[in-house]
């Protein structure tokens, strides 16, 4: 059986439609995966499980967090050989902090901050998040819209947030949440106000 130009064109059109449908299914599965990672991140935040949250973060975000806080900690370090600094109620060796992985640094700092702030701890553990939907920006970048309700002191917060993520080694990894970015900023301000 010989295929004429009309049949070849019809087969090519059919093959194109099938590939579009297949790609659409892959994109949907990828966004479902992004939504699942966002849900895991929300749960880790609510549980104050900093190790689980760090494992979900893109390595560049962990490096960025360490890079934003470490200079202020180094400024506070004494010049003696012990190199001990006190961050709130916990002592750290500055050389150990420098040598720690960005993930361990993140966990140590967040555990310390939340240990000394019961109000912050209460706000996060009572926070409710609901993923609304996901929007791809590129093959390796997606954003999940999240409805968040929480109590901050006497104020009730009802807001929409965006959880962004990037692909890393084929898997979705979170970018730092706006709330964690805010904590890092407040920590930097607090450290900069201290005298060495």
Q: Provide the CATH number for the domain around residue 142.
A: 3.10.450.50
Q: Interhelix angle for 5-47 vs 118-125, to 10°?
A: 140
Structure tokens at 172: 């979705």
**Contact partners, residue 50, CB within 8 Å, separation at least 6:** 44, 106, 107, 110, 111
Instruction: Kindly report, residue by residue over 106-135, the tens digit of the pLDDT.
Output: 999 999 999 988 888 998 999 999 999 999
pTM of the shown model = 0.81
Using pLDDT thresholds of 50, 70 and 90, give the confidence band for residue 78: confident
Q: What are phi and psi of 147, to 5 degrees?
A: -90, 120
Residue 147 has pLDDT above 80, yes or no: yes
Find tokens 């990037």 and name the residue: 166
- Number of domains the chain is built from: 1
Q: Domain of residue 170: give its range.
A: 5-193
Residues counted in the chain: 196
Q: What is the mean pLDDT of residues 18-43?
A: 72
Using pLDDT thresholds of 50, 70 and 90, give the confidence band for residue 142: very high
Residue 191 has pLDDT above 70, yes or no: yes
**Contact partners, residue 55, CB within 8 Å, separation at least 6:** 103
Residue 174 has pLDDT above 60, yes or no: yes
């Amino acid at each position: 059986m010989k295929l004429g130009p009309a049949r070849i064109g019809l087969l090519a059109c059919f093959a194109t439609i099938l590939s579009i449908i297949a790609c659409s299914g892959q994109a949907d599965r990828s966004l479902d995966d992004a939504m699942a990672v966002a849900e895991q991140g929300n749960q880790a935040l609510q549980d104050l499980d900093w190790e689980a949250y760090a494992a979900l973060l893109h390595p560049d975000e962990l490096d960025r967090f360490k890079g934003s806080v470490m200079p202020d900690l180094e400024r506070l370090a004494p010049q003696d050989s012990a190199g001990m600094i006190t961050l709130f109620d916990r002592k750290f060796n500055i050389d150990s902090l420098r040598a720690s992985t960005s993930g361990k640094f993140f966990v140590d700092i967040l555990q310390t901050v939340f240990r000394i702030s019961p109000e912050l701890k209460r706000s996060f553990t009572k926070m409710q998040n609901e993923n609304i939907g996901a929007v791809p920006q590129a093959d390796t970048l997606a954003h999940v819209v999240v409805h968040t309700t929480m109590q901050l002191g006497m104020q009730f917060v009802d807001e929409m947030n965006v959880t962004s993520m990037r692909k890393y080694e084929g898997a979705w990894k979170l970018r730092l949440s706006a709330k964690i970015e805010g904590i890092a900023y407040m920590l930097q301000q607090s450290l900069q106000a201290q005298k060495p």
